[in-house]
Chains A and B, each alone.
Chain A
Amino acid sequence: MFKKLSQKIQVSILAICSLATSVTVILIIIFLFSEGISFLGMKPTEEGYVLAVNTKNNLSSISPELCKKVFDQEVDNWSQLGEKDMPIELVNSDQIATFYSEEAIGSEMEYLDTCYNDYVSKHEGAFAVMPKNYVTSKFKGRIVEVQENSIASLVTGREWFPTAKPIAQFGILPLLMGTLIVSLGAILIALPFGLACAIYMSEIAKKGRRKIMKPLVELLAGIPSVVYGFFGLIVIVPLIQKLFHLDVGETALAGSIILGIMALPTIITISEDALRNVPNAMREASLAMGATKWQTIYKVVIPYAISGITTAAVLGIGRAIGETMAVLMVTGNAANVTFNYLKPVRTIPATIAAELGEAPSGGIHFKALFALGCILFLITMSINLYVNFVSKRRGVK
């Protein structure tokens, strides 16, 4: 009787634990996506400001990215926005004071609204940024809508500048590129090294040597990532700076090297496992036909283990993509769209870690970081799904 009861309690404790875990995971995902998705549909304009143009102008809406270009005067003719060929006359709170006298504006800027109104109605090429409350029934300009954040603007935007005023820039292309080139570089470094190591350990090393190497490799996996970051900052970064005569050594290359080292244990242990799982009968069959040891390794053993090796590489990339701290410390954190490994870059996780503290909670910047988190999650999840798919296919074979 008592035995039965205690057994039931044990079973229900186990069930509750596993249920709690699943629920937690699902809650985290829901939280991440609800915050991230609410970013879409928000407007990246500074609170309380609007854009206005002359009524003859047909422009009805403008993308945040183009808007920024207008402000930076990279775009200075209306024809570039699909309108008539005339110069864009930009007005904002700084410039309005140069166009009108102090009297016209008023000692306490009480007539500023009239000045904006006057300027916009008289200049066909006007492009004004002004406080929302200046727009009254008397206003003779037209309001231009800033387009909402969308997946397209997020993914194709080439500028990440979430604190830009009056229009923040949320283009994740540079961050995505940063993440991709750092991870790609990492895998290009780690795969040959890791595979060589795995081949040595599984095919060549005597038992004794393997017994020393295996725990060392596992130790590598246990080092905290800040320590890798430190090592990168003190050793790799100055080395790169000297070697390539750069102004700063904090580059994508430094990130790739550090991430490569961090991905090594994953790659080595998984591909070594795959190699050791190759039946000895395969090696014997090859050797018995007069193949050399080396021919046997690359014509029989590696092809046989190839799906395991692919898994190792993909999981290694997965590790690299999600890594935050070490990368934050060595890549320089400049949001560049570049393929140049000798330039600073900034990755998605590093951006989240660096900016979350300064983004006001609930604001658009905050939500943008969640959107980044969603994208990172989608990337790593597809990697996991791919690995599952590959290993399942191997299981069927």
Chain B
Amino acid sequence: MIQIKNVNFYYKDFHALTDINMQIPDKAVTAFIGPSGCGKSTLLRLINRMNDLIDGTRLTGNILVEGQDIYDKKVEVEELRKKVGMVFQKPNPFPKTIFENVAYGLRVQGMKNESEIKDRVEDAIKKAALWSEVERILNNNATNLSGGQQQRLCIARCLAVEPHVILMDEPASALDPISTAKIEELVLDLKSKYTIVIVTHNMQQALRISDNTAFFYLGELVEYNNTRDIFHNPAQEKTKNYVTGQFG
């Protein structure tokens, strides 16, 4: 479970998130929706401390992953990121071979046993539903794959490290409809084993794949409920307007 408690977040003087409180359940898909600039990515990146890389940011409140406050001084950020993986909006494979892309996370953890690495890589690519397409070209450069294949490769790369949580920031927004469908299928497939948080601009997508949906507006969490209620029975006027496409 991911607990977000009284979180306020600032980029320099800009107050990007205001008083966010929410609990994200395990082994379910939670969608973040809301208009552009409302802070979805910001909150998502707080969960694996990617915002640490940006100068001049400030956080108050607490974020707990599996009961552990991840901003506690004792927490090693590398360990946290192994547990909380991330898939980005634009596919970003390394300009290495397909195999080495997936093996990367294992190698940086210090895994040396090549046969174990091979097994883990194969396993991860299979879980990402990419195996049949790449099993013969594992030594080709990953940047030659199609965009959709690259994104599934990035998911495989993330899975190889065996995270508990996967954060996805609009993982299908740069892809064609068929690739998008494959990613959605994959997310539904992974749900039984992983806690997934996904940012999306696509209302239909949120409806198809998520169990719970959080609607953000101007840095605030407006409404957070199970997906069906958010879309068919929203409590807030703003939510209703947004999901029915009247603004945003």
Which residues from chain A sit less than 8 Å from chain B, CB to CB? Answer: 206-207, 279, 281-292, 295, 299-300, 303-304, 397
Interface centre among A284, A289, A292, A303 (most CB of B within 10 A): A289
> Please, which residues of chain B bring their CB within 8 A of the CB of A283?
53
Task: Name the distance in Å between A288's Cβ and chain B's nearest Cβ.
Answer: 4
> Please, which residues of chain B bring their CB within 8 A of the CB of A285?
88, 92-94, 154, 157
Can you give 17 A-B contacts (C-beta < 8 A)?
Answer: A207-B55, A285-B93, A285-B154, A286-B94, A287-B81, A288-B48, A288-B81, A288-B85, A288-B158, A289-B105, A289-B108, A290-B81, A291-B108, A292-B108, A300-B94, A303-B95, A304-B94
> Please, which residues of chain A bring their CB within 8 A of the CB of B104?
286, 289, 291, 299
Task: Name the distance in Å between A283's Cβ and chain B's nearest Cβ.
Answer: 8
> Please, which residues of chain A bring their CB within 8 A of the CB of B105?
289-291
Contact (Cβ within 8 A) B55 A290: no
Contact (Cβ within 8 A) A290 B53: no
> Please, which residues of chain B bring their CB within 8 A of the CB of A284?
50, 53, 86, 88, 92
Task: Please give me the residue from chain A that is nearest to B110 by CB atom.
Answer: A295
Task: Name the distance in Å between A190's Cβ and chain B's nearest Cβ.
Answer: 27
> Please, which residues of chain B bring their CB within 8 A of the CB of A289?
81-82, 85, 104-105, 108, 157-158, 161
Contact (Cβ within 8 A) A290 B78: yes
Which residues from chain B sit less than 8 Å from chain A, CB to CB? Answer: 48, 50, 53, 55, 78-82, 85-86, 88, 90, 92-96, 104-105, 107-109, 154, 157-158, 161
Contact (Cβ within 8 A) B78 A292: yes
The docked-state distance in angstroms from the alpha carbon of A283 to that of B78 is 14
Interface centre among A283, A290, A292, A304 (most CB of B within 10 A): A290
Task: Name the distance in Å between A338's Cβ and chain B's nearest Cβ.
Answer: 42
The docked-state distance in angstroms from the alpha carbon of A79 to that of B60 is 94
> Please, which residues of chain A bring their CB within 8 A of the CB of B90?
281
12 more CB-based (< 8 A) A-B contacts, given A287-B53, A289-B104: A281-B90, A282-B92, A284-B53, A287-B50, A287-B81, A288-B85, A288-B158, A290-B79, A290-B80, A290-B81, A292-B78, A304-B94
Interface residue SS majority, chain A: helix
The docked-state distance in angstroms from the alpha carbon of A97 to that of B50 is 93
* 8 tightest Cβ-Cβ pairs between the two chains A and B: A290-B82, A281-B92, A289-B105, A288-B86, A291-B108, A290-B81, A290-B78, A285-B92
The docked-state distance in angstroms from the alpha carbon of A207 to that of B56 is 12
> Please, which residues of chain A bring their CB within 8 A of the CB of B55?
206-207
Task: Name the distance in Å between B91's Cβ and chain A's nearest Cβ.
Answer: 9
> Please, which residues of chain B bring their CB within 8 A of the CB of A286?
94, 104, 108
Question: When the two chains form the complex, which single residue of A207, A279, A291, A299 contacts B78, counting CB atoms closer than 8 Å?
Answer: A291
The docked-state distance in angstroms from the alpha carbon of A283 to that of B104 is 13
Task: Name the distance in Å between A194's Cβ and chain B's nearest Cβ.
Answer: 23
> Please, which residues of chain A bring their CB within 8 A of the CB of B154?
285
Interface centre among A287, A288, A289 (most CB of B within 10 A): A288
The docked-state distance in angstroms from the alpha carbon of A304 to that of B55 is 24
> Please, which residues of chain A bring their CB within 8 A of the CB of B92?
279, 281-282, 284-285
> Please, which residues of chain A bring their CB within 8 A of the CB of B81?
287-290
Task: Please give me the residue from chain A that is nearest to B79 by CB atom.
Answer: A290
Task: Please give me the residue from chain A that is nearest to B158 by CB atom.
Answer: A289
Task: Please give me the residue from chain B that is nearest to A283 by CB atom.
Answer: B53
The docked-state distance in angstroms from the alpha carbon of A285 to that of B155 is 11
Contact (Cβ within 8 A) B88 A290: no
Task: Please give me the residue from chain A that is nearest to B80 by CB atom.
Answer: A290
